[in-house]
Structure formats: C-alpha cells, structure tokens
Amino acid sequence: MKLAKSKNARFLLASTSEIYGEPQITPQHEKYRGNVNTIGIRSCYDEGKRIAETLTMEYNRQYNIDTRIIRIFNTYGPNMDPEDGRVITNLINQAINNEDITIYGDGEQTRSFCYVDDLIDGMIKCMNSEYNLPINLGNPIEMKIKEIAELILLLTNSKSKLIRIPLPEDDPTNRKPDINIARTILSWEPKVDLIMGLKKTIHYFKLLN
C-alpha cells in the first residue's frame, strides 16, 4: 500500500468470500457483514482478509489512494498447484489416480465455481472501473460438493469411490455470490461453462501425472 502511495498507483486487494464466514443469508451480497468466528481455526484467514479490506479503505480515505477491492469466490482452472488443497484440485487428483474421493461431512455444503479466465476478466474490468467499494467476483451457480465430485468422476471416467470424513470446524455450509454489482458496474458475469472448464482443468492435471 505504501508503494502504491509513493507511486500514485491504483491498488487492487484480492479479498475473498471467506469474509462472509458461515453466512446467514444467500446469496451473499456486498453489504452483508458476515458471520465469522473470531477465534476459530479458520479465523486467521477470515479476519486477515477482513482487516485487509479495512486498511485498504482507510488508505483510500486518509491518503486518497485509488483502491479496488474484489471478493473472490471459489476459482479453478489449469496451472493450479496440485498440492494446494483446494476442493477442485483434491477431487481431480483423486479421481484421475482412482483413489478414494474424500467428501467432508454429508457433501450437502455448497460452493460456486468460477473458471480462472472469467475471474481475470473481472479483475481487469474492476481495475479499469471507477468503483472502489468491495465487489463480488464469482459464479452465481451454486452446487453441492457431492454433485461436483460426481461430475468429476463422470468426466474422468474414474473408478474412485466416494468416502465421507468429518466436516472440518467452521467449514462454511454455503457459498453463492450475488453479482448484481459486477453485472451493473462492470458489465461482467462468468461465461465459461462448468463442464468445459472442468475438462480443461482435468486435461492439465493429467499432463502432470
């Protein structure tokens, strides 16, 4: 932030949907202040992003720095780190290696998955806009974890079996972005179909194996 101030540069904060915590509303819109456990095992990340938004806006107000804040929902695509522990990464790696696919809890928890090209397009449009309040970037199509696991099994023609393990503490049960601001201000919404995006991602991970 100090560098942006010294260079009179526009600053982009990559925030996250995790600032909403375990949301009590769906879809989640930018004015919703969230429901975060401040002392939970995920709180370092959740609260870290929340204070980052606070500091970004303070620099905007105090020093007139030109800032942008995007709240990124689940994103996937080629070139992901195979060891990053993200849900799409884990499911694809397990499926193409015919390993048991681990589903946390009953798999009824939901996420929304945005292809990386769409996210980058949204980031560029945000930086080129004059809007400096937080803005959701994500896919508003909500899916259950067990549904995405079953789809990946189908697309990989895997022999893996679904197994259930305990749900981690404070793991959010739902994620669905309200992207009305992105549609209105940025003329942005995801374009890449989930199946097409998953096929490209699966192809990438197969090349690594």
Short-list 20, 23, 46, CA closest to 136: 20
Residue among 20, 32, 45, 59 flagged as catalytic:
45
Tell me how crowded residue 71 is: count the other CB atoms within 10 A of its CB.
Answer: 22
Alpha-carbon distance 66 to 129, whole Å? 11
**Is 20 assigned a catalytic role?**
no
Alpha-carbon distance 126 to 68, whole Å? 7
Report phi then psi at 157, rounded to 5: 55, 45
Alpha-carbon distance 100 to 87, whole Å? 14
Residue numbers annotated as active site: 45
